[in-house]
Amino acid sequence: MKKIFTKISFIALIFLSFTIRATAPSREPLTIVSAEPLNPYTKLIHAIGRVETMHDTLAYNPVEQATGYFQIRPIRLEDYNRRTGSKYRMKDLFDYKVSEKIFLYYAEMYGPYNFEKIAKRWNGSGPRTYYYWQRVKKHL
């Protein structure tokens, strides 16, 4: 009888050890964090926006017909549309996302880490771009 009790106790102990370990996993929620993409042009965009329009997306310069945050002129818009097959019009440049898209298209040609060249090319050509760069550089 003692042998049977020992066997039953042993079997019960084994069974209990499996049931204790066989508990369900914890229900702690899994959190997936999405990181914001890096934009190497963020500081340059801010600096050029400051110099061009004081960050005004609705800015318009009637002398140059420059429009929007980045003061995009008609000739630049025509060039962008020709190169990309887009059909943006001048009034579309009041939309910051459209203007930014056009700016980044040209910035990618010289960047992302040559801010001076990007700023000078954005402004035009000639000796006046030096002074433009000096103004932009103050806001970087």
Burial 62-78 (b: 16+ CB within 10 A, else e): eeeebbbbbbbbeebbe
In whole angstroms, give the CA distance from residue 96 to residue 126: 28
Residue 98: the pLDDT is 98
Percentage of the chain beyond pLDDT 70 is 81
What CATH class is the domain 42-137? mainly alpha
Model pLDDT for residues 89-126, shown as the tens digit of each residue: 999 999 999 999 999 999 999 878 899 999 999 998 88
In whole angstroms, give the CA distance from residue 125 to residue 96: 25
Beta bridge partners of 61: 66
Model pLDDT for residues 41-57, shown as the tens digit of each residue: 999 999 999 999 999 99
Residue 111: the pLDDT is 78
pLDDT band at 1 (very low <50, low <70, confident <90, very high): low
In whole angstroms, give the CA distance from residue 46 to residue 140: 8
**Helices and strands (H, E) in the chain, number of each type:** 6, 2
Q: Per-domain residue ranges for the chain? A: 42-137
Predicted structure pTM score: 0.72
